[in-house]
Amino acid sequence: MESSGTRGEGDAPSGGGSPGGSAPGGGGPGAAPRVSSVGFLLSQLGWSMAMRFRATIEPLGIEPRQFAILRALASADGQSQQSVCDALSIPPSRMVGLVDTLEKRGLVERRLNEHDRRARAIHVTAAGRELLDGALSRIIAHEQWISEPLTDEERQQLIVLLSRLANHYELPTGIHPDLTTRRAVPWPGSPAPRRRNTDA
């Protein structure tokens, strides 16, 4: 969810901009200009937005990872835990702990799978859907707050550009990469990940 931190990034801005350049700053008259680094600005904004997102849903007693799993389970209600893990590339061990927490709170329940008695299907309860609805209304307001300085056209342009970056670096769709096992494009200088032979 959250960035692991941005300390040091300002000293060595990542590529995509002029490391020594600057962009117009905010914060009123006399504010220092922004560093012209796509990487630093994305990291700075990402960390700030992640913290505010956590604070947005915290009053509901849920944290971002739990919300992400609850939303994913609601969109695939009745699927086996393994099926959800496979679809979202989430490690089973991580999924078990998150589902256990949600089940203890009465937000989801495991039932016998009608098609496979050896497996358990996960269903979101009425309480879980009520909490999800409450969280989504808060998140819509959070999204509106983020987009407040932008026109509708600018917001759409920003989504297009950010989506292009996310696709280029093979980030998973619809789930935060912090929850998944799938690796994105490797960092510069790191060895390319080994790919499984799916033809065997």
Q: Check residue 78 and give its pLDDT.
A: 86
Give domain status of residue 192, yes or no.
Answer: no
**Conformation bin of residue 183: beta by default, left when phi > 0, alpha when psi is -120 to 50:** beta
Give domain status of residue 162, yes or no.
Answer: yes
Give domain status of residue 131, yes or no.
Answer: yes
**Conformation bin of residue 22: beta by default, left when phi > 0, alpha when psi is -120 to 50:** beta
- pLDDT (tens digit per residue) in 109-122: 998 876 666 678 89
- pTM exceeds cut of 0.85: no
pLDDT tier at 79, thresholds 50, 70, 90: confident
Place of tokens 């989801």: 108
The total number of residues shown for the chain amounts to: 200
pLDDT of 14 > 50? The answer is: no
Give domain status of residue 173, yes or no.
Answer: yes
Give domain status of residue 67, yes or no.
Answer: yes
Mean confidence (pLDDT) of the chain:
78
Would strands 120-124 and 108-112 be described as parallel, antiparallel, or unpaired? antiparallel
Give domain status of residue 7, yes or no.
Answer: no
Across 5-14, 38-47, 166-175, least confident range: 5-14
